[in-house]
Structure 1
Amino acid sequence: MRVVVTGAGGYIGPHVVAAHVARGDDVVAVLRPGSTAPLHPDATVVHADVLAEDLDLGVFGNPDALVHLAWKDGFAHNSSAHMGQLSAHFRFLTGAAQAGVPRIAALGTMHEVGYWEGPIDAATPTDPLSQYGIAKDALRRSLPLALADTGTSLAWLRCYYIYGDDRRNRSIFARLLEAVDAGRSTLPFTTGRSKYDFIRVEELGRQIAAVTHSDVTGVVNCSSGVPVSLADKVEEFITENALPISLEYGAFPDRPYDSPAVWGDATVIRQIMSGDAAQ
């Protein structure tokens, strides 16, 4: 397949590019103009602003699939950029479909759902509580209607709590590493009781590539399907990396929109990955 990956220089992008290259795909990695983000050497790099009104889609050639990861301020859940750029994302993706791209896989988030306790599946109702979740959910709802008559198949990649390559994210794991770098021996923390669905970014890249190659449409949970408490995961990270630091439990309150336990129903992604491995 010839696969275009937008947001290739972001946190997830390099791992998605690498996963597609590993499958033998012809990968076009799209970076923002001026970006020098390191990518797999076998990928073809194109610098372009995919949200620009005057974007020429012809610069990507004739791809078999488009993986849309590009999104500003993904770690800042209430940034004004989420709603401010929503229409540009819609224009880009519908334009790609109208240009004849047969397969689109777009990155979503479990924050579309809002407060929820238990497993999340494709039918779980959404009630987002952040600007990030609201914008992603609006795009998820609007795209199937807009693409209905184009012949383009759409997979919505609903992601959960991603870790790994931790120097490049803004997670608790990155904050731990930064605190150790600064010589600190403790880090203020929440209660850590909430349970989440954690997935390594390398595995997420492989899951996204497998979904892109499949014919599955609609919401696909890219997740582990296993809830683990934040405290257990962070303590595991500290132990595995032999970090000389401890957590100050209860220093910060838990976020009001985080549930006691939430995770992705991984039935579909497990079927995709199992079938993919059998090929």
Structure 2
Amino acid sequence: MRVLVTGAAGFIGYHVCERLLARGDTVIGVDNLDTSGDVTLKATRLSRLKAAPNFGFHRMDIRDAKSCRELFEGARPERVVHLAARVGVRAPTSEATDYAETNITGFLQVLELSRQTGVGHLVFASSSSVYGAGTPLPFSEQAAADRPLNVYAVTKRADEMMAHVFSHQYGLPVTGLRLFTVYGPWGRPDMAPMLFLRLMLEGRPIVLHAEGMMRRDFTYVDDVVEALVRVLDKPPAGPPPYRVLNVGRGTSVAMARFVDLLEERLRMKAWVELRPAQPGELEVTCADVTALERETGFRPSIPLEQGLARLVAWYRGREG
């Protein structure tokens, strides 16, 4: 198939592209290579993808209407994986406009062009942060998700609702994936797994908010890619042809325990600073993946211990 992947130089985008290329798909990668993340890491991921003959890359911003239209009309993708976004639950409200322009206006453009060019299935990344305050555990897709705690969550919930409209009105097959704390090789340097790993090896302090008692559903990137590709290959039947699915391990781990596991794999002690909880963050995340397993026959299974061992091995190999 011809698959358009936005955010191709990002953490998850890179792994998705690799998987699609390996199975023989033609991948059209899109990324604006913005400076909000590690630019060197993005460039390295991209250079590895460019080595594949069935990969083409377009440096562009999804907010650029003219460039987006030209790309969709020229490439005519059969499937679209939309991962481009401004990310981060700790984004200040002062940056709300930029988040809205990228995550909402940009996605609206992708929806409209997917409709106009007859895309067979659009899969986009949502987030576990949409569940917000007061959601019963484990998080189910049937929960209201109407009390967000941060701007990022608002934009992702808006994306889900816009996608439903396009699916309902135009029959566009769309799936939103609510991803739960994805980690692994080539990961985001600002997220706890990569950040804590680097700080420990540099002998610098790790900050644990909520006294280390926050709990997260850590999901290894290979499990996320497996789920995404299976979903991509199986558009929702409908009506309307729309669904939202959790992608997580279904197991919640305290951040203090996460540090313990990292210490075991690095064979060194962490320098930990305990601080109060920050506003805008959920105390606990835990996915109910019943729907994902029902739809695809797959549920994420790589335990945190194994995933961290792989991450540490990759990091040490890359640094060495």
1:12 match: 12
2:208 match: 189
- 1:50 has 2:50 as partner: no
Per the alignment, do residues 164 and 212 of structure 1 end up closer, same or farther by CA in structure 2, a change over 3 Å counting? same
The CA distance in 1 between the partners of 2:190 and 2:282, in whole Å, is 20
The answer (yes or no) to whether the contact 1:9–1:38 under 8 Å persists in 2 is no
- 2:221 is aligned with what amino acid? V
- 1:27 has 2:27 as partner: yes
The CA distance in 1 between the partners of 2:244 and 2:23, in whole Å, is 23
Per the alignment, do residues 242 and 167 of structure 1 end up closer, same or farther by CA in structure 2, a change over 3 Å counting? farther
**2:77 maps to which of 63, 68, 71:** 63
The answer (yes or no) to whether the contact 1:117–1:260 under 8 Å persists in 2 is no
- 1:95 has 2:109 as partner: no
The CA distance in 1 between the partners of 2:283 and 2:151, in whole Å, is 21
Aligned to 2:224, what secondary structure does the other structure show?
A: helix
Q: CA deviation at 1:158?
A: 0.6
Aligned to 2:258, what secondary structure does the other structure show?
A: helix
Aligned to 1:119, what secondary structure does the other structure show?
A: coil
Shifted more, 231-240 versus 74-83: the winner is 74-83
User: CA offsets, 1:42-67, max 9 Å, x none?
Assistant: 34122132220212134652222100
Shifted more, 20-29 versus 203-212: the winner is 20-29
The CA distance in 2 between the partners of 1:247 and 1:189, in whole Å, is 7
The answer (yes or no) to whether the contact 2:150–2:281 under 8 Å persists in 1 is no
Shifted more, 151-160 versus 211-220: the winner is 211-220
Identity of aligned residues (%): 23
The CA distance in 1 between the partners of 2:33 and 2:270, in whole Å, is 39
Q: CA deviation at 1:247?
A: 2.3
* Count of residues in Structure 1 that have an aligned counterpart in Structure 2: 273
How does 1:75-154 map onto structure 2 within 5 Å?
76-78=90-92, 79-80=95-96, 81-85=98-102, 86-115=104-133, 116-126=135-145, 127-154=147-174
Q: Which runs of 5+ in 2 are unaligned?
A: 35-41, 237-241, 300-320
The answer (yes or no) to whether the contact 2:166–2:172 under 8 Å persists in 1 is no
Q: CA deviation at 1:243?
A: 4.0
The CA distance in 2 between the partners of 1:65 and 1:266, in whole Å, is 24
- 1:45 is aligned with what amino acid? G
- 1:265 has 2:265 as partner: no
User: CA offsets, 1:174-218, max 9 Å, x none?
Assistant: 33233235333x423232222221101232122211111112341
RMSD: 2.5
Q: CA deviation at 1:71?
A: 0.7
The CA distance in 1 between the partners of 2:262 and 2:117, in whole Å, is 45
- 1:267 is aligned with what amino acid? T
Per the alignment, do residues 59 and 245 of structure 1 end up closer, same or farther by CA in structure 2, a change over 3 Å counting? farther
Higher strand share: 1
The CA distance in 1 between the partners of 2:176 and 2:66, in whole Å, is 26
The answer (yes or no) to whether the contact 2:3–2:77 under 8 Å persists in 1 is yes
Q: Which runs of 5+ in 1 are unaligned?
A: none
- 1:98 is aligned with what amino acid? Q
The CA distance in 1 between the partners of 2:187 and 2:232, in whole Å, is 27
